[in-house]
Structure 1
Amino acid sequence: MFNYTSKINYANPQTKSLKVGLPKEIVKVLDVQPGDIMDWQVDVTDGKITVIAKKLE
């Protein structure tokens, strides 16, 4: 398991959407580049949140 910290910022203050940068170690593991499409699966069970991220081919 890896542990990294990221800061969340506004992507667009008018819509209050947010963005977060991927730490370079995660970029390397996911083998992603600008323009790639990510798939996010989020499960919330008993107060525990699990996020699975993968790059779509």
Structure 2
Amino acid sequence: MSQFWRDRSVFVTGGTGLLGSWLVAELVNRGARVTALIRDGVPQSRLYTENWHHQINIVRGCIE
């Protein structure tokens, strides 16, 4: 696997959404330092059910 993402800072919007949660998981697996913007806490999101939220920085808010 490529080392491109290792130790890179990445900002993901919609971290609890379908695409965002999968993206967070993949980036963490590749060694990126992930910060995710989360508007609403969604406990059934993959971000929480698979405990990815413990491995990233979370920023609560919205882009408006």
Please give the range of the TM-score, normalised by the shorter of the 2 chains.
under 0.3
The structure in which a higher percent of residues are helix is: 2
More strand by share: 1
- The higher-RCO structure (CA 8 Å, 6+ apart) is 2
TM-score (ref. length: structure 2): 0.18
Task: Give the TM-score, by structure 1 length.
Answer: 0.19
